[in-house]
Chains A and B, each alone.
Chain A
Amino acid sequence: MGNNNHMTAPVAEVSMPHVNLDDLIVCLKYYVDEEVAHIRIKDQAICATCDPKPCLAFCPAHVFETDRQGRMMVSYQACVECGSCRIACPFHNVDWRLPRGGYGVAYKYG
Chain B
Amino acid sequence: MGMLTFDAIVVGAGPAGVAAALTMARGGLKVIIIERGRFAGAKNLFGGVFYTHALADVLPDYWERKPPFERPVTEQGYWMLSPDSVIRVMHKSERYRKEPADAYTVLRARFDPWFAEQAVEAGALLITRTTVTRLLKDERGRVIGVDTDRPEGSVYAPVVIIAEGVNNLLTRQAGLIASDLPPTHVALAVKEYVNLPAKELQARFGLSGPREGVAIDVFGDVTLGLPGTGFIYTNQSGISIGVGMLLSEFITHRLRPYEVLERFKNHPVVRPYLEGGEVREYGAHLIPETGYDRMPKLAGDGVMVAGDAAGMVDALHREGTNLAITAGKAAGETALAAHQQGDFSAAFLSRYRRTLEDSFVLKDMKQYRRMTDFLESSPHFMGTYVNLLNEAALRYFTAHGIPKREMEHDIIKMVRERRSFTGVAWDMLKLMRAMRG
Residues of A contacting B: mostly: loop
A87–chain B nearest beta-carbon distance, Å: 6
Contacts of B257 in A (CB 8 A): 58, 60
B262 CB–A CB distance under 8 Å = yes
In the complex the two chains form, is A60's CB within 8 Å of B45's CB? no
Chain B positions 257 through 300: 1 when the CB is less than 8 Å from some CB of chain A, otherwise 0: 11110110010000000000001111111100000000000000
In the complex the two chains form, is B281's CB within 8 Å of A108's CB? yes
Interface residues on A, range: 35 or more
Which of A52, A60, A86, A109 is B258 in contact with, Cβ under 8 Å?
A: A60
Which of B46, B131, B387 is A7 in contact with, Cβ under 8 Å?
A: B387
In the complex the two chains form, is A7's CB within 8 Å of B391's CB? yes
**Which of B112, B226, B256 has the largest count of A CB atoms less than 10 A from its CB?**
B256
In the complex the two chains form, is A107's CB within 8 Å of B251's CB? no
Which of B46, B82, B107, B254 is A57 in contact with, Cβ under 8 Å?
A: B254
Which of A11, A16, A23, A99 is B226 in contact with, Cβ under 8 Å?
A: A11
Which of A11, A62, A98 is B253 in contact with, Cβ under 8 Å?
A: A11
B317–chain A nearest beta-carbon distance, Å: 21
In the complex the two chains form, is B383's CB within 8 Å of A8's CB? yes
In the complex the two chains form, is A80's CB within 8 Å of B284's CB? yes
In the complex the two chains form, is B284's CB within 8 Å of A82's CB? yes
In the complex the two chains form, is A57's CB within 8 Å of B250's CB? yes
Contacts of A110 in B (CB 8 A): 41, 44-46, 107-110, 112, 281, 283
Interface stretch (choices A24-32, A42-50, A65-73): A24-32
B116–chain A nearest beta-carbon distance, Å: 13
Contacts of A19 in B (CB 8 A): 256, 258-259, 262
Interface stretch (choices B178-186, B196-204, B341-349): B178-186
A93–chain B nearest beta-carbon distance, Å: 14
CA distance A75 to B109 in the complex (A): 24
A107-B188 CB under 8 A given contacts A11-B226, A102-B38 = no
Contacts of B42 in A (CB 8 A): 105-107
A13–chain B nearest beta-carbon distance, Å: 10
CA distance A86 to B256 in the complex (A): 17
Which of B188, B266, B280 is A84 in contact with, Cβ under 8 Å?
A: B188
Contacts of B251 in A (CB 8 A): 54, 57-58, 88
Which of A1, A8, A87 is B384 in contact with, Cβ under 8 Å?
A: A8
In the complex the two chains form, is B283's CB within 8 Å of A28's CB? yes
B193 CB–A CB distance under 8 Å = yes
A90–chain B nearest beta-carbon distance, Å: 8
CA distance A60 to B254 in the complex (A): 12
B129 CB–A CB distance under 8 Å = yes
In the complex the two chains form, is A107's CB within 8 Å of B281's CB? yes
B118 CB–A CB distance under 8 Å = no
Which residue from chain A places its CB closest to the CB of B251 in the assembled complex? A54
A16-B38 CB under 8 A given contacts A8-B384, A88-B183, A104-B43 = no
Contacts of B130 in A (CB 8 A): 101-102
B166 CB–A CB distance under 8 Å = yes
B385–chain A nearest beta-carbon distance, Å: 11
Interface of chain A residues 1 through 46 with chain B (CB within 8 A): 1, 4, 6-9, 11-12, 14, 16-19, 21, 23-25, 27-28, 31
Q: Can you list 8 pairs linking A and B with CB atoms under 8 Å apart?
A: A8-B383, A57-B254, A86-B167, A88-B247, A102-B38, A105-B42, A105-B283, A108-B109
A-B complex: 8 closest residue pairs judged by Cβ atoms:
A102-B129, A110-B108, A60-B284, A110-B109, A24-B282, A101-B130, A83-B167, A101-B129
